[in-house]
Structure 1
Amino acid sequence: MDEHSKDNKTRIISNALYFAEVQRMLDDGKEVRIRIKGGSMRPFIEDGDSVLLLAYRGGALQLGSNLLAKHQGKYVFHRYVGKKNGQIVLAGDGNLVLREYIDTTDIIAVASVHYPQQQQSAEEINLNHRWARLCGLAWYRIRLLRRIIAKIKSLQS
């Protein structure tokens, strides 16, 4: 089911319908560019930015990759941060605590390019470049420090 937005220029469709179409295009061998909604990937990927997805066909994943996956019936776009007990561990860059544990069969796609919405130049960012993946992993590894800083800031206000 879909409906029109307030400005009548766009249509709003359910996530299930949207991601079914994304899955269909990926299955057809196409690259799919989607817009990211939400702040779970901040500071690297902002709400409204878009990414180019390539279907995941199995095989090795690069640590630090950005993945579209299904977790407990919902779609998530988060970073691959490790493995635990044979499962893939995902975490949003903007998340200080939560992690998702998924099987490789839950992975839908791997993001290859990031298109920032608010960047001065129209430059795209290669998400598979080692530096992009290392920055994301380093940000993940300092989550404890980020939690402490957030707590101190909340106590000061």
Structure 2
Amino acid sequence: MRKITVSNDFFAEAAEALRQGQTVKLLIGGQSMYPFIRGGIDLVEVVPCPPDEELPAWCCPFYQWEGRYMIHRYIGREGDDCLMLGDGNVARIERVKRKDIIGVLQTICRPDGTTQDCRDARWLKKAEWWYRLRFLRRWLLPVFKALHLR
């Protein structure tokens, strides 16, 4: 497969499509959501997220943070800030204003044709447990990558 790296401007266009009520499919780069999303491999489907709608626990919003577009795990709120942490990250938590959340991850499409409904209660429960085990990520992530686990 030929790999193309696009600028963050491409994601600005995806954000605009979401604001207009359209669903977008994106091939995400990077490993910040591993093991739930494999960067450069899994295709994700993002749906619009109305600004007045409450975010479901452990969902994965599509948002703008420090001029970049990202999809990370929603881990809670502090005041007016929504807190986000990538599943493949050990410590960095992004503080995001609710108005900067544009969409929410709906489906992950794997290369083998299978799909993962990201609204499924069992998938969200796995995400919660993965968050609770974050103190072990430094050791678990290299093992998962070596064994090609997801």
TM-score over 0.5 for the pair = yes
Category of TM-score, reference length = shorter chain: 0.7 to 0.9
| Over 3 Å off, 4+ runs | 9-13
Partner of 2:16: 24
CA offset at residue 28 of structure 1? 2.7
Per the TM alignment, residue 146 of structure 1 is displaced from its structure 2 partner at its CA by 3.0
The separation in 2 between residues aligned to 1:10 and 1:136, in whole angstroms, is: 28
Match of 2:148 in 1: none
Residue identity opposite 1:27 in structure 2: R
Instruction: Judge conservation of contact 2:12–2:69 (CA < 8 Å) in 1.
Output: no
Q: Where does residue 4 of structure 1 map in the other structure?
A: none
Tell me the equivalent position of 2:94: 100
Q: Provide the TM-score with structure 1 as the length reference.
A: 0.80
The amino acid that maps onto 1:145 is L
* Highest RCO, 1 vs 2 (Cα 8 Å, sep ≥ 6): 2
1:126 to 2:117 alignment? yes
Query: Which runs of 5 or more residues in structure 1 are unaligned?
Result: 1-6
Percent identity for Structure 1 against Structure 2: 29
Gap change, CA 1:86 and 1:38, over 3 Å in 2: same
Matched to 2:128, the amino acid is: L
Superposition TM-score, scaled by structure 2 size = 0.83
Deviations 1:61-109 (A, max 9, x none): 1011011111111111101011123310000001111110111011011
